[in-house]
């Protein structure tokens, strides 16, 4: 009865290893342009094995996104949880974003690519994505100790907008521009808080 247990654990672990092995390829070539054969080759396995662990290319991607998001949030809190005060914490958030800007740019392109390719609209996938967004938003509310979600939403919209700029600016060469815009954002939020009180 318990003989199968270790196998399951192994399977789960192996699955995660495979997922982590996909990150780079997806980041470089996007979702639609990464073929199952390339993924398999990159992982050093056969396509058959891939289909043994994931039911489709779509499935690989969804599981990958989930995995990465969990890693992201915990990575942020690992280094920023002891900072105190609204301004310092806003600064910490923006610093983290800017430092990982290229990474998030790739992620954003990946997502949009995925949504264009798989025209689903199925509630399932939509729910899934919303969950991720709301999770991140709630974590932000908590971290900044804001009274409601409105300001966190505002901040995250701005961050998304900032990430999108990669399409026009290609890579983070315009570091100054990104920096001054994020400072402006912080100032805006602080002003707003001052007015409110």
Partner DNA sequence: TATGAATGAGTATTCATTCAT
Partner DNA sequence: CATGAATGAATACTCATTCAT
Residues in contact with a second copy by the rule CB under 8 A: 29-33, 108-109, 111-113, 115-117, 119, 121, 126, 129-130, 133, 150-151, 153-154, 156-162, 164-165, 167-170, 177, 180-181, 184-185, 187-189, 191-192, 195
* Residue (of 181, 179, 104, 193) closest to 151 by Cα position: 193
Q: Which is nearer to a second copy, 22 or 159 (CB)?
A: 159
Q: What is the per-residue binding string for DNA in 66-105, x denoting contact by CB under 7 A?
A: ----------------------------------------
Return the one option of a second copy, DNA, none that residue 75 interacts with (CB less than 5 to 8 A, by type): none
Q: How far apart are CA 186 and CA 35, in angstroms?
A: 41
Instruction: Give Cβ neighbours of residue 40 (< 8 Å, ≥ 6 apart).
Output: 46, 47, 49, 50
Q: Which of DNA, a second copy, none does residue 112 bind (CB under 5 to 8 Å by kind)?
A: a second copy
Of 22-41, binders to DNA (CB under 7 A) are 33-37
Footprint on residues 38-57 left by DNA (CB under 7 A): 45-49, 51-53, 55-57
Neighbour-count burial of 182, counting CB atoms closer than 10 A to its CB (0-12 exposed, 13-18 middle, 19+ buried)? buried
From 11, 136, 9, 27, select the one nearest 71 (Cα to Cα): 136
Residue 115 binds to DNA (criterion: CB under 7 A): no
Alpha carbon 192 to chain centroid distance?
Answer: 28
Query: By C-alpha distance, which of 77, 138, 144, 72 is closest to 108?
Result: 72
Residues touching DNA, count (CB under 7 A): 21
Min dist CB 83 to a second copy, Å, is 23
> CB count, 10 Å around CB of 1?
4
Residues that bind DNA (CB under 7 A): 7, 10-11, 14, 33-37, 45-49, 51-53, 55-58
């Amino acid at each position: 009865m318990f003989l199968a247990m270790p196998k399951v654990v192994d399977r789960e672990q192996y699955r995660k290893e495979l997922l982590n092995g996909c990150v780079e390829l997806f980041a470089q070539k996007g979702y639609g342009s990464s073929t199952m054969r390339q993924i398999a080759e990159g992982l050093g396995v056969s396509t058959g094995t891939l289909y043994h662990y994931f039911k489709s290319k779509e499935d690989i991607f969804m599981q990958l996104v989930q995995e990465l998001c969990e890693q992201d949030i915990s990575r942020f809190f690992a280094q920023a949880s002891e900072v105190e005060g609204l301004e310092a914490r806003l600064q910490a958030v923006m610093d983290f974003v800017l430092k990982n800007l290229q990474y998030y740019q790739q992620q954003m392109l990946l997502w949009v690519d995925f949504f264009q390719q798989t025209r689903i609209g199925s509630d399932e996938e939509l729910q899934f994505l919303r969950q991720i967004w709301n999770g991140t938003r709630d974590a932000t509310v908590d971290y900044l100790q804001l009274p409601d979600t409105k300001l966190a939403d505002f901040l995250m919209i701005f961050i998304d907008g900032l990430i999108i700029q990669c399409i026009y600016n290609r890579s983070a060469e315009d570091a100054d521009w990104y920096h001054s815009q994020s400072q402006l954002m912080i100032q805006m939020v602080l002003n707003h808080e001052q007015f409110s009180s």
